[in-house]
């Protein structure tokens, strides 16, 4: 078994589809697609591609560390007590455990993600 995994930014298989949880929704009607592509350490580490349509919701990481690389679209993240930060295609960022803020999708966004719980 190879320990090298290529993440396909445009997967051909069907994604898992979901919506913002009512208690996290701020505005709009964002929908989400997740193409999970790999998991390790009994589900503690996950990676794949995620997409969201425009809208605004609360982002709460809890104990999860998440690395994101934006493939397309534009988002604005506003951490509690901080100024908004805009990310677009080509940008990467990390949300550390304990992160709380607002995720606003301005243009439909697609990202590669890696989460560690």
Paired tokens of 82 = 């901080």
89 to each of 51, 75, 108, 111, how far by Cα in Å? 13, 10, 11, 9
Closest CA to 21 of 13, 31, 12, 11: 31
Q: What are the tens digits of pLDDT across the range 39-91?
A: 999 999 999 999 999 999 999 999 999 999 999 999 999 999 999 999 999 99
Interacting residues of 97 by C-beta distance below 8 A, sequence separation 6+: 61, 62, 63, 64, 65
Residue 1 has pLDDT above 90, yes or no: no
Q: Once rounded to an integer, what is the mean pLDDT over residues 78-106?
A: 98
């Amino acid at each position: 078994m190879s320990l090298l995994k290529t993440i396909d930014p445009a997967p051909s298989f069907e994604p898992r589809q979901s919506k913002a949880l009512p208690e996290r929704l701020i505005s709009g009607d964002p929908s989400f697609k997740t193409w999970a592509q790999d998991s390790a350490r009994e589900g503690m580490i996950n990676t794949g591609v995620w997409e969201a349509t425009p809208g605004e919701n609360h982002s709460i990481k809890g104990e999860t560390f998440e690395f994101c690389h934006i493939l397309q679209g534009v988002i604005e993240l506003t951490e509690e007590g901080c100024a908004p930060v805009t990310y677009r295609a080509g940008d990467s960022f990390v949300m550390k455990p304990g992160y709380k803020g607002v995720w606003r999708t301005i243009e439909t966004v697609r990202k590669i993600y890696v989460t560690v719980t």
